[in-house]
Amino acid sequence: MELTISRAAIDEISRAAALSPDAEICGLLLGEGASVIEVRPCDNVAANARESFEIDPAALIAAHRAARRGGPAPIGHYHSHPRGPATPSPRDAEAAEPGSYWLIAGAGEVRGWRARGDGGFDPVALSGHRNP
């Protein structure tokens, strides 16, 4: 399984995570199928951004509205684990929408995942040859 995303987009996520060592960053992956066209940073509105993330609902609604008008659709999201590895946590598993892509930045790397229907994740290779 592979997710197509530009190297520049992965670097953008890495930089944002590095600049936020005390709170999780988050954003949307916009695209089609298994191709990310745009990464859109969003405010983390979680009650405890040090331990979890919640994408600003207004940003998510706006992305869905834009997709209905012909723009790229939300196909997943990204977030960081400032004090942990780039692997899904139990909290991530609880929030996973089956079929959605997750990019997690942690321990100096960004790794890709796809949520399964059973609360688990499958690893996803990131192909960096697409330029948005």
The C-alpha atoms of residue 94 and residue 107 are separated, in whole angstroms, by 22
The C-alpha atoms of residue 121 and residue 58 are separated, in whole angstroms, by 27
Q: Identify the CA nearest to 24 among candidates 76, 92, 75.
A: 92
Chain centroid offset of residue 131 CA: 18
pLDDT score recorded for residue 81: 97
Residue 52 token pair: 């979890």
Are 81 and 105 in contact by the 8 Å Cβ rule? The answer is yes
In tens digits, what is the pLDDT along the chain, a chain of 132 residues? 899 999 999 999 999 999 999 999 999 999 999 999 999 999 999 999 999 999 999 999 999 999 999 999 999 999 999 999 999 999 999 988 999 999 999 999 999 999 998 989 999 999 975 443
CATH dotted code for 2-127: 3.40.140.10
Are 13 and 110 in contact by the 8 Å Cβ rule? The answer is yes
Sorted by sequence, the CB contacts under 8 Å of residue 61 that are 6+ apart come out as none
DSSP 3-state percent helix, strand, coil across the chain (nearest 5): 25, 35, 40
pLDDT score recorded for residue 132: 39
**Residue bearing tokens 């399964």:** 116
Pairing of strands 101-106, 73-81: parallel
